[in-house]
Amino acid sequence: MGKIEREKKTIKLMVEIYCKKKHDMKNGELCEECQELLEYAHKRLSYCKFGENKSTCSRCPIHCYKKDMKEKVKEVMKFSGPRLVIYNPIELIRHALNK
């Protein structure tokens, strides 16, 4: 699996954890706002100009996210990053290694 695909999976997991805890959604379901955020993040990754050579978005010099989405994704990562260890340790390790 390429880096972009892997990051898409990780962000999906993070948004799902966030939405479940914060917006009371069931496993695997997303509220409208989180669905929109996830689609946006996936789109950014698909069009990332660095492609497979990208570093993590949080360290990206461009940061192609628009302001409100950037805030939202930051909040999701802050909340769900540490929780990945409970829900998906493998993804957490990957996430840490990617940093």
d(CA 88, CA 74): 19
Residues 31-90 that bind Zn ion (CB under 5 A): 31, 34
Q: Which is nearer to ligand SF4, 49 or 67 (CB)?
A: 49
DSSP 28: T
Q: How far is the CB of 27 from ligand SF4 (least distance, A)?
A: 27
Phi, psi dihedral angles at 25 (to 5 degrees): -90, 160
Quick check: 8 and 42 in contact, CB under 8 A?
yes
Q: Which of Zn ion, ligand SF4, none does 40 bind, CB closer than 5 to 8 A by kind?
A: none
Q: Name residue, tokens 């997991």.
A: 13
Task: Name the helix (H) or strand (E) containing 36.
Answer: helix 32-46
Q: How far is the CB of 25 from ligand SF4 (least distance, A)?
A: 25
Q: Which of 99, 23, 14 is nearest to 55 (CA)?
A: 99
Q: How far is the CB of 51 from Zn ion (least distance, A)?
A: 29
Q: Which of ligand SF4, Zn ion, none does 64 bind, CB closer than 5 to 8 A by kind?
A: ligand SF4
Q: How far is the CB of 50 from ligand SF4 (least distance, A)?
A: 5
Residues that bind Zn ion (CB under 5 A): 19, 23, 31, 34
